[in-house]
Structure 1
């Protein structure tokens, strides 16, 4: 379940939920600060670490003084600090926060660090918001040096758990800039959160790991920075980022760094290796990973077996997944033998030779093949998660009956750990929704409730999506009300995104905007999908100015990254009305922000040009598209400023060719259709023939024209004849006559008509 949290604090927190447009959010930044007074992490009591303090001071050339000195304090301020410290020692965090908020003066550094630490450690939306407000106040008063590394590290962990990943990253980076070395549990938690984040999250996770390691390696005596050295969990987090990227070489490089830090791989490490093999299509290496970890004395966990089943299901190899699950049900320990036998006639390694060379150091397959398949150290029984994974494979393959039968089989299992849970039931509901059986899906939901397994937010979101896909938006709205009023489940951002998209499908942009504003009023932060979906509503309904307003809000929101889809949606909104000049302005802004137009962008522009009837713009657009389609030389490919090449699709080229034929730009039309044929696209000659006959059958009929104009007409006629030749129509290249006129009338293409 996604938890709702308030936006980062600003100067006026109360207005964040009441204002629909605009909303302003603040980003977290830290000033360069003096050395911290403590480095302990995950303990509320602050202690001093002299070694680390001396290390930080040794790295600095100078220690900057606070920019704003602390103002003179009243006589009773010391007693307030003592009272606040007493409450904090008694773990009365709420009372301490109340006392802090009532004071006009900043507490001592010890009290502030303790208060931020305890608020972060509570890890609730309210406590996290309070900790953020303290940071905002300290930043405003230029007093961030009052906090120690313990408080900042805990706040980073709390931000990561709360879903404020960018905020957590900014804390760790600011600590590094300020010569703090964060505790490994703090920075690895942020790396772990980044590794599974969308967009550029895995790459950012690797960069953050490298930044910390680079700083730690500067210190010769590792005992001074032992608290920041990577442990197994940290390596697992960054390896998971590499696996999510499918980057084998970088994965192996990080894996090779583990001995340097005296870190040994554990079962989770090998589980990530299994994920990597699945990500880079190396099904043949899955059994090798299992054999390798058993031979090294690393005991597989039930998650290891689940990862194997999930990998085979992901490859679509349900037969091997079924054999693996059946062997587990029979209590067999020779799973390596089972998987080897199922893997006999498998992958051709020639296509992955380069990857195999890299994998050889990580998984010495040539050596493993000579081993006798080892036995597992103990017997494992399949749990509900493994059964459900196989069930998802059936659902993906469209085997609805097998999905339902698997649920029945799980009910009959003697082991309670194999009985269906809410994920199992939700999988069946998802399969029924996918098949369009909404009534049966609701019956399964009712059965879940009778079995004492109530549906959760994911279950309702799947049903919500099913109703919207079937354009039953009224029933989707009823389901939203049922979730909130009857079941007591608050909709999350996925729920709102789904219902907003459903409103768009039935052309109800007003309702889409209402749900978007309701979502923000509930304190739910919009995602990238939320913004682009609402932009889509306004773009399709012919309201590009409102789409642009949503886009500007998206640019201001630090929690989301504007991507190519958002830019294209904005271009589409203007092009749907034929507002080409406004669309071109958006394209220029896109380039300024580091985005290059892609095929979708050009397709929208081509449709807008056709609607605006500006064939001259089509020529300019085609020249740009042609340049992007041209093959690049080695010198050009090394120039990063050049836009990447594109592969045009049928819609773009057909629209451009249509415009050129209607405007009698036959030479350009021939270039476009040649490009279509080069890219394996069959031009619609029947359509172009009809356009030519209807619009250009009486060309070149004027007998009175200047010499220059006649020359231009002669050139245009040659292009027209060439185009007719391509169409297969009678033309001068065949030395035949062609006329749309009845016999006896003069041919419009006679030489005397030029």
Structure 2
């Protein structure tokens, strides 16, 4: 039988068993041998068959061993490597090294290197890309444009822009992808001006690269530069498309400039006759996420209504964005209502939808909500996955409930839901951050048993935990060791770490990155160890990891915290020299430092500098200046800043109004404070915190009637009064002989169904007692006894209310609990009279005391103490 016929028959047999790769491999191993090797295309076919079925990847090593038994396996190894990048990277590297180890084998061709480089890039193995590229050059193969583009992409992804530029400049031939890769790399590290230079060097403008640079400018707050580039595109006949506008809107939203983004969005809606593209699904979705991320829920709600009318709220992805926004802004109940709406509208929720709800319930802040989340998962509406369980595990670990966390882990094992590295890292971070080192080590042992090894993210979590637990020396020692030992550097922390770092192939992946150095430098700066922090910065640069604005901000914040404000200014100047553009946060940190030292003139200088450099101030910038003016008693200078903010399309927040209202109340200009309060409601919405703020300020300065009016409005709006000084107001009204108003306020609270501290009754009862109002006293006494007999954790209509608040403990009738009055001499006489009246069934109301004693035996204390 001829070789070609044998090959034909073999391929026919393999194709016939293609549905069962294991059977196909057995046939291949049985029908081929060192004495009768197959044609390379048969090897290529069976390797692709195994590569396309992940469940068959475990069979690949036996195929490799069989191929290496042939007299000349080089052609077969090349055929095997042609299956990249579908093969697992670890196996591909093993096959490649076997090929390179053959003494007589020719060097692999460039396409094989390209496939390996692409697989390494997809796995973020930047260190491997560099070594492969060097091996390619040593082998005598010639890199092509695609090869160099892969190297360029890897360097940009690692933030090594100087080296990337050198590679780009040395390329003998470039295509549009080369320019696009470098421009995107510059934009990624906040150097959009350099990206514009790359665009200028292109033989002709490219729409994709233009959109990349436009988005980069917007992310950095360089709106004017972005607009100029868009106009330049038009001038050169390159019409900006909807992707251009979506890039601008997305970048502006990510930079916190949501109002600027909305202006562009609005132009697309209203000025399309001027040639602007109409908003598409992506535009609406990006704008919705922008509103939600900025906490502008009312604006997002209006946009959702527009999307409903325009048919843009029909995809599950759009609903998920709105659900996520509601959850992030603490509106889990409304999110659950929206989930029901989806079913009504025929939009099928996906797993991500349900995970949003689970994550929201887990992050509500109460153990009860975590249990609700678990009940939701078990209700059968969803099939939990690793993301679902990760949310539950993180919630239980953050609350210290390791018993529940272990129960979830066991449930995952029972249901065959394997934990991934991300889940383990979430758990590790929760435990390590809480200082639960022993439990963290137990988790590491469990990781080892399941075959998981540590990665750079795991190492960063452990280094951060060491820094938080004042073990800086150990953290820095581990960072030094990671360069040579990888994750083995963690072995010095104990055997539980050493067992996770036994695989030498994975150790090299655990190299320090920008986050590693940022973590250590933040801890050093926090401790005032700036010389050591500078050494780490130089080491980082020496390792070709370029610092970004976050690193410089770490130094600025550290210097400001330790009162070295002018050293912080020097860091800002160094950023300009190093080509790292400062961000709004950079300036905000410096402004905060000057605000701490009441240097309002310096703040104004920095704000002017921001505007000159095209960096837009945000609400935090203005709040720092407002606070500085208010603390210096210059409230009249602070007030105009609100108008300036609005002119710059920056919406003042609650903090802005909080600072000004308190400042005007301090100067006893209550009419101005009232006007600001009214403006705050229009700007920020009817927020509980605003009513509480105004009410507290008025009561602090004895403006009892005005405080009472604000409180009554809040009660009518059904907001929680947990943070309101309602007891102080009632007591204050009684002191100024406004007992009727205090009495009406109590009645309103009861009518609206609020649960509140029974001690609030006492000032009114005392005042009415002096007036001889027996019937009113009887009614209030009965209500007080009834309320005191209830459970302390009753909920008000607007949310949970805790009557044991100590916020106003300095007032006569304000202690943590109403029963504390039993120990006060000034109230003993009144309490004794109330007890006796209630016991004898005052006013034909029956023996309330006897009835209440059956419900709550604590009332018996009242009689004995009296």
* TM-score bracket for this pair, using the shorter chain length: 0.5 to 0.7
Native 8 Å contact 1:188 1:237 kept in 2: no
Native 8 Å contact 1:411 1:419 kept in 2: no
Q: Secondary structure at the match of 2:485?
A: coil
1:378 aligns with 2:503: no
1:574 aligns with 2:698: yes
Aligned to 1:554: 680
Native 8 Å contact 1:574 1:583 kept in 2: yes
Superposed CA offset, 1:537-571 (max 9, x none)? 222222222222222233233x656233x223312
Alignment of 1:483-494 (within 5 A): 483-485=610-612, 487-494=613-620
Superposed CA offset, 1:432-476 (max 9, x none)? 212222233223333333333343322221121122222222222
The number of residues matched between the two structures is: 509
Q: Secondary structure at the match of 1:400?
A: coil
For the residues of structure 2 that align with 1:453 and 1:171, how far apart are their CA atoms? 37
- Using a 3 Å threshold, how does the CA distance of structure 1 residues 505 and 639 change in structure 2: closer, same or farther? closer
Superposed CA offset, 1:1-34 (max 9, x none)? xxxxxxxxxxxxxxxxxxxxxxxxxxxxxxxxxx
Alpha-carbon distance, 1:430 to partner = 1.5
For the residues of structure 1 that align with 2:372 and 2:445, how far apart are their CA atoms? 23
- Using a 3 Å threshold, how does the CA distance of structure 1 residues 185 and 218 change in structure 2: closer, same or farther? closer
TM-score normalised by length of structure 1: 0.54
Alpha-carbon distance, 1:513 to partner = 0.7
Alpha-carbon distance, 1:523 to partner = 0.6
1:481 aligns with 2:608: yes
Native 8 Å contact 1:383 1:417 kept in 2: no
Please identify, of 493-502 and 534-543, the stretch whose mean Cα deviation from structure 2 is larger.
534-543
Alignment of 1:327-726 (within 5 A): 327-334=481-488, 337-338=491-492, 375=503, 377-379=506-508, 380-396=510-526, 399-401=527-529, 403-413=530-540, 415-418=542-545, 420-485=547-612, 487-557=613-683, 562-564=687-689, 566-598=690-722, 601=725, 605=729, 623-624=759-760, 635=791, 637-638=793-794, 640-641=796-797, 644-647=801-804, 649=806, 652-656=808-812, 670-671=826-827
For the residues of structure 1 that align with 2:523 and 2:447, how far apart are their CA atoms? 26
Alignment of 1:240-279 (within 5 A): 242=362, 245=365, 249=371, 257-258=384-385, 267-274=421-428, 276-277=430-431
Alpha-carbon distance, 1:134 to partner = 7.5
Alignment of 1:135-154 (within 5 A): 152-153=284-285
Q: Secondary structure at the match of 2:606?
A: helix
Alpha-carbon distance, 1:634 to partner = 6.0
Alignment of 1:84-99 (within 5 A): none
Aligned to 1:229: 350
For the residues of structure 2 that align with 1:459 and 1:150, how far apart are their CA atoms? 31
Alpha-carbon distance, 1:509 to partner = 1.2
For the residues of structure 2 that align with 1:185 and 1:571, how far apart are their CA atoms? 42
Alpha-carbon distance, 1:602 to partner = 5.1
Native 8 Å contact 2:454 2:501 kept in 1: no
Alpha-carbon distance, 1:278 to partner = 6.0
Q: Secondary structure at the match of 1:570?
A: helix
Q: Secondary structure at the match of 2:725?
A: helix
Native 8 Å contact 2:592 2:624 kept in 1: yes
1:156 to 262, 276, 288: 288
Aligned to 1:306: 460
Aligned to 1:704: none
Superposed CA offset, 1:335-359 (max 9, x none)? 675555589xxxxxxxxxxxxxxxx
For the residues of structure 2 that align with 1:554 and 1:296, how far apart are their CA atoms? 55
Native 8 Å contact 1:571 1:586 kept in 2: yes
Q: Secondary structure at the match of 1:491?
A: coil
TM-score normalised by length of structure 2: 0.48
- Using a 3 Å threshold, how does the CA distance of structure 1 residues 319 and 388 change in structure 2: closer, same or farther? same
1:128 aligns with 2:262: yes
Alpha-carbon distance, 1:586 to partner = 1.0
Please identify, of 247-256 and 405-414, the stretch whose mean Cα deviation from structure 2 is larger.
247-256
- Using a 3 Å threshold, how does the CA distance of structure 1 residues 127 and 264 change in structure 2: closer, same or farther? farther
For the residues of structure 2 that align with 1:276 and 1:213, how far apart are their CA atoms? 33
Native 8 Å contact 1:394 1:400 kept in 2: yes
Native 8 Å contact 2:326 2:334 kept in 1: no
For the residues of structure 1 that align with 2:336 and 2:475, how far apart are their CA atoms? 35
Superposed CA offset, 1:612-649 (max 9, x none)? 69899999999418799999656564554598334454
For the residues of structure 1 that align with 2:520 and 2:470, how far apart are their CA atoms? 11
Aligned to 1:325: 479
Q: Secondary structure at the match of 2:602?
A: helix
Structure of higher CA gyration radius: 2
For the residues of structure 1 that align with 2:305 and 2:668, how far apart are their CA atoms? 43
Native 8 Å contact 2:525 2:533 kept in 1: no
Native 8 Å contact 1:192 1:238 kept in 2: no
Gaps spanning 5+ residues in structure 2: where? 1-210, 215-239, 253-258, 273-277, 389-415, 747-756, 763-782, 815-820, 832-866
Native 8 Å contact 2:288 2:322 kept in 1: yes
Superposed CA offset, 1:66-104 (max 9, x none)? xxxxxxxxxxxxxxxxxxxxxxxxx9xx9xxxxxxxxxx
- Using a 3 Å threshold, how does the CA distance of structure 1 residues 421 and 207 change in structure 2: closer, same or farther? same
Alpha-carbon distance, 1:189 to partner = 4.1
For the residues of structure 2 that align with 1:406 and 1:177, how far apart are their CA atoms? 56
For the residues of structure 1 that align with 2:686 and 2:417, how far apart are their CA atoms? 35
For the residues of structure 1 that align with 2:491 and 2:784, how far apart are their CA atoms? 52
Native 8 Å contact 1:149 1:182 kept in 2: no
Gaps spanning 5+ residues in structure 1: where? 1-90, 95-113, 139-145, 344-368, 659-664, 676-754
- Using a 3 Å threshold, how does the CA distance of structure 1 residues 280 and 192 change in structure 2: closer, same or farther? farther
Superposed CA offset, 1:692-737 (max 9, x none)? xxxxxxxxxxxxxxxxxxxxxxxxxxxxxxxxxxxxxxxxxxxxxx
